[in-house]
Structure 1
C-alpha cells in the first residue's frame, strides 16, 4: 500500500514540476502578436472563405498589418463583410476605404430543362458537374452551359445558390461574393457583378446562330440586334456572344427588349 501511495505522490510531483516548466517555457518562448493584426482580425467576420484571395481572415489581417509590403493591401477585399467591414478596417489602419459597392455572383446561362436540349441522362454515383463534364462535355447538348448538378450549390457555405429547373441561380440577397462558386464551376459561367448592374447576358454559347439555336431556345445567336439597338455603344458581340460593357451601360434595358432569343436579362424590368 505504501508503495502505491509513494508512486501516486511521485506522479503528482512530476506532473506539477512539468506543468510549472511548461508554463514558464510558454512565457519565455511566446511569440508576441502585433496589436495592429489583432485589431484588424477582430473586425473581420471570421468566415475564412478565401474570397479576399488570402488563405483566411488571419492571413488577410496579417497582410493588412504588414507595414513592409511593397504596396499596401486594399481594405476592401472582404466580400462577406462588405462596405461596413472595409470602413472599420480603414479606420483601424488610419486610412479611408473609398467607395465600395457590394458584389454578388451571376450565372451566365439560362439553359433550363425547357430551354436546353439534353444530350444524355447522367446517373453517376456522384452528382457532380465536374464528373459529368468528362463525359462528352456535360449532359446537355450545349457544351458551354450550366451542367446543373450542383457543384456550386455544394461549395456555397451561405445557401446563396440553388438549382432551379436545371440551372444554378444566385440569390443576391444572401450572396456574400466569397467566390467559391466561381472557382468550383467547371464551365466558368459564374462571375461577380456589382449589385447596381441590372442588365446581363444570360448566355455563354460561342457557336454561330444555327448551331446555337439547335441546342438551346434562349441561346445568343450573334445576330447583333443588341449592338444596333444600343445607343450608348455598351454592347458588342464577341466570339459570337453578346458582351455588355458596364462602364457604358446605363441600364435602359433596350437590348434586352429587342433580343429575339431573350438571352439578355433586365432585372429592373423583371422586378
Structure 2
C-alpha cells in the first residue's frame, strides 16, 4: 500500500513539476502576434490563390501587418478588400483600376493552320516543346488547357474551336493563367479597355498571312488611324498603350485583318445639354473627329455619325454640359 501511495505521489509531483516548467516556458518564450493579422485575414476572400506572392491569405495578412506587403495586394478582393485592409492598417488606399486577363490570340481551328497533328499529353507546355507546338504560327494558342487548369476561379475555358477564352464575369485578375501560358499569350489589361490587339506574332506579314487569317500583318494602318498616339509599332507588331487609349475604336475599324478587337456594343456617343451649353467651343476644339458643330456663343450639337465616344469633349466642357449615352 505504501508503494502504491509513493508511486501516486511521485507521478503527481512530476506532473506538477512539468506543468510548472511548461507554464514558465510558455511565458518566457511566448511570441506576441500582431492582432491586426487576424483582422486582415478576416476581410480577405480566402481564395488562397497565391496571386499576391505570398503562401495563401494567412501569409499575405502577416506580410501586410509587418509592413512588407501593400494593402492593395489582393487582386481577388479588389478595391473593396483593399479599402478594408487599408482601414485596419490606418492607410488611405487610392483607387486602382481592376485588371482582367485576355488571351491575345484569335487563331482558332478555322482561322489558323496546323503544321502537324499533335497526339500527346493535353498540356500546352508539353506540346510547345515539339517544334513550338502544332500551330503553324509559333506564337498561337495551342488550346490544350494549361491555363484552364491553372485558374483557381474556373474563369477560362477552351472553346469548341480550340481556343482559350476568359470569362470576364469570373476573372479576378490573379494572374495565374499569365504565369502558366508557355506562349506568353495572356495579358492583364485594364477593365475599362474596350480595344485590344489580339496577336503577339512578330513574324513578317507574309508569314503571318500564310499561317493565320486574323494575325497582325504589320500594315500600320492602326498607327496612322490613331489620333492619340496610343498605338506603338515594333517587331512587326502593333501594341496599344492603355495609358493613352481613349477607346475611340478607330484602329479596329481600320484593321484589315480584324486583329484588333473592339467592343462596339459598348461604344457611346456624346450628348450636349443645350440648356447648359454656353457656346464656348471648348468641346469643338477638343474633338479630333469634327463631330461637334456650332459657332461661338451658340448652342453646340454632336454629329452622332462622326462621334467615336472618345469623351474628350466631356473632359473639356467647363460647365458639365456633355454626357455620354
User: Which TM-score tier does this pair reach, normalised by the shorter chain?
Assistant: 0.7 to 0.9
Answer whether contact 1:221 1:240 (CA < 8 A) is retained: yes
Separation in structure 2 between the aligned mates of residue 64 and residue 240 of structure 1, nearest angstrom? 43
Q: Residue 149 of structure 1: CA displacement?
A: 0.3
The reply to whether residue 266 of structure 1 matches residue 262 of structure 2 is yes
Q: Residue 167 of structure 1: CA displacement?
A: 1.2
- 1:15-26 residue pairs with structure 2 within 5 A? 17=15, 24=23
* Higher RCO by CA contacts (8 Å cutoff, separation 6 or greater): 1
Q: Residue 74 of structure 1: CA displacement?
A: 2.2
Which has the greater radius of gyration?
Answer: 2
- 1:82-231 residue pairs with structure 2 within 5 A? 82-124=78-120, 126-164=121-159, 165-231=161-227
Q: Please list the CA deviations of residues 82-108 of structure 1 after superposition, one character each: whole Å capped at 9, or x if unmatched.
A: 111000001101111111222210111
Structure 1 stretches lacking a partner, 5+ long: 1-5
What TM-score does the superposition give when structure 2 sets the normalisation length? 0.73
- 1:30-49 residue pairs with structure 2 within 5 A? 30-49=30-49
Separation in structure 1 between the aligned mates of residue 21 and residue 93 of structure 2, nearest angstrom? 44
Q: Residue 178 of structure 1: CA displacement?
A: 1.2
Q: Residue 56 of structure 1: CA displacement?
A: 2.1
Answer whether contact 1:224 1:236 (CA < 8 A) is retained: no
Root-mean-square deviation (CA), in Å? 2.4
Q: Residue 140 of structure 1: CA displacement?
A: 0.5
Structure 2 stretches lacking a partner, 5+ long: 268-325
- 1:64-83 residue pairs with structure 2 within 5 A? 64-67=64-67, 73-83=69-79
Q: Residue 270 of structure 1: CA displacement?
A: 7.4
Q: Residue 26 of structure 1: CA displacement?
A: 8.2
Separation in structure 1 between the aligned mates of residue 98 and residue 45 of structure 2, nearest angstrom? 16
SS in 2 for 1:247: coil
Separation in structure 1 between the aligned mates of residue 250 and residue 203 of structure 2, nearest angstrom? 24
Q: Residue 22 of structure 1: CA displacement?
A: 10
Distance 1:22 1:169, change over 3 A: farther
Separation in structure 2 between the aligned mates of residue 270 and residue 139 of structure 1, nearest angstrom? 36
Separation in structure 2 between the aligned mates of residue 243 and residue 22 of structure 1, nearest angstrom? 68
The total of aligned residue pairs comes to: 256
Q: Residue 208 of structure 1: CA displacement?
A: 1.0
What TM-score does the superposition give when structure 1 sets the normalisation length? 0.87
Q: Residue 216 of structure 1: CA displacement?
A: 0.4
Once the two structures are overlaid, the 10-residue window that deviates more, 237-246 or 54-63, is 54-63
